[in-house]
Amino acid sequence: MRGANAALGTAGLAVFLALGEVAPRLGLVKEAYFPPTSRIADALGQEATDGAFWTALGDTLTGWALGLVAAVVGGVVVGLVLSVVPYLREATASTIEFLRPIPSVALIPLAVLLYGTELRSVLLLVVYASFWQVLVQVLYGVRDVDPVAEETARSYGLGAWARTRHVLWPTALPYVMTGVRLAAAVALILAVTAELVIGAPGLGARIAVAQSSQAVPDLYALVVVTGLLGLLINLGARAVERRALAWHQSVRGEVAV
């Protein structure tokens, strides 16, 4: 099944690339705005030989990784504390629902005011956007704990830490992994967006330079790089999820299929 899905995905990508090559050459779209796939590939090859490109890629991955780690750790810790401490979840529910919908891009002026175009501006936006992905999933996961299992653990004299480790965490872990996978994608989006808008070092800033200099093939090549990064991050997150949840019925069923 996986082999068939991979083959279909490869075929779909090949058709898409072929259309990208043919459409500009037939005049269906203006080549000045949408260059053929071959020109984009040539620009991508030139980017790969430029040391500044790899420096920008490293800057983007640094902001992505640091922000994601901070968001995951903060989301898990805060989520568990809110769920374990009595009445704390109810006391903070309105605050969470107020802060969570605020778009991270709305914080760009604040980030620039506080940190300028430094890495910390990128981290502020990345952490803010990714944190909610993890926190909400942790809260959903804890809410899904079986009350009978919770009461059984209490009747056996398990303390708060033991109940969290043996009852709450195994139930919440699938939700946590979903939150991590979502946060990984959101972190990349915000890292590139922050670099593009703020001008912080990274692929986003390099895209902005290509746009302002009318280097259209280079612009598309850099966009392709960000897309490939997103694909690799998603595949990596799914691999980690399958490994961490190898004991869970959803993953066992997926492997069986």
pLDDT at 55: 94
The answer to whether the beta carbons of residues 177 and 245 sit under 8 Å apart is: yes
Q: Cβ atoms within 10 A of the Cβ of 24, count?
A: 20
Greater confidence, 242 or 60?
A: 60
Q: pLDDT tens digits for 183-218?
A: 999 999 999 999 999 988 999 999 999 999 888 999
CA–CA distance, 125 with 128 (Å, rounded to integer): 5
pLDDT at 184: 95
87: pLDDT strictly greater than 60: yes
pLDDT at 85: 82
Mean local confidence (pLDDT), 147-168: 75
44: pLDDT strictly greater than 50: yes
pLDDT at 206: 94
The proportion of the chain whose per-residue pLDDT surpasses 70, expressed as a percent, equals 93
pLDDT at 248: 65
Lowest-pLDDT range of 16-20, 131-135, 205-209: 16-20
212: part of which helix (H) or strand (E)? helix 203-212
The model's pTM = 0.86
Mean local confidence (pLDDT), 150-166: 74
Mean local confidence (pLDDT), 161-176: 82
**230: pLDDT confidence band, cut at 50, 70 and 90?**
very high
Alpha helices for 49-168 (secondary structure H): 51-84, 88-99, 108-115, 119-143, 147-155, 160-163
149: pLDDT strictly greater than 80: no
